[in-house]
A and B are shown apart, each in its own frame.
Chain A
Amino acid sequence: DVVLTQSPLSLPVTLGQPASISCRSSQSLVYSDGITYLTWFQQRPGQSPRRLIYKVSNRDSGVPDRFSGSGSGTDFTLKISRVEAEDVGVYYCMQGTRWPLTFGQGTRLEIK
């Protein structure tokens, strides 16, 4: 199975400051069609997960442009340019390139 390792697991951030979460894969996530199926989700406290970013760097509709995704192959990053209070929650990366679908352990973002 593809193992996704996120770091850090806990991320205290001051309001207005940037934040960065890493997701490293045990195997390349480039599919045979040339597309990399790496997705980022946000789960706010008490809520269902919400997709933020798909195919590495594509933002979902309604997602603020302070969120951005980047990376390739086995190394991926989710960045928040300026953290706001509503960004508190747990962030997960997920790969859809190989069965079974797998998630990272999650990174808990909190306000310092």
Chain B
Amino acid sequence: EVQLLESGGGLVQPGGSLRLSCVASGFTFTNYAMGWVRQAPGKGLEWVSDISGSGGNTYYADSVKGRFTISRDNSKNTLYLQMNSLRVEDTAVYYCAKEAGSGSYGHLDYWGQGTLVTVSS
């Protein structure tokens, strides 16, 4: 059974940093690209970033490019999202999601339960 467990969310001041983690189980992690999607309170879904199975290719939404960094440690079955220069508008539940293949994107077939990031002074 595929399981994705996010952690690392919390309250942070504007301009601060936070690192989210997502531990995966139930599938061969290195064989699948992974992604992050966020949802601001009461709003819709917004794709944030994706990374290939090897970690060699990364993709970002314009809204986070240059501030967020996606990475993965395949030896630990863990996906990360390093978030710097956080803004109030980054406040959201952040979901990690599995893609359908190593270099296959836009599928998001399994999602975690999400972790809440609140950016506020």
Give residues in A with beta carbon < 8 Å to B: 37, 39, 41, 43, 48-51, 54, 60, 90, 92, 94-97, 99-106
Contacts and interface: CB of A to CB of B under 8 A. Distances in A.
Contacts of A104: 44
A106 B95 contact: no
Contacts of B114: 48
B47 A102 contact: yes
5 contacts: A39-B108, A49-B111, A54-B109, A100-B62, A102-B47
Contacts of A96: 105-108
Contacts of B108: 39, 41, 49, 51, 94, 96
B95 A39 contact: no
Given A92-B44, A106-B45, A48 B95 contact: yes
B47 A97 contact: no
B106 A103 contact: no
Interface residues of B, number: 23
B6 to A, nearest CB: 10
Given A37-B106, A100-B59, A50 B47 contact: no
B95 to A, nearest CB: 6
A46 to B, nearest CB: 10
Given A100-B62, A103-B45, A48 B106 contact: no
B8 to A, nearest CB: 17
Contacts of A60: 109
Contacts of B95: 48-49
Given A101-B47, A105-B44, A95 B112 contact: no
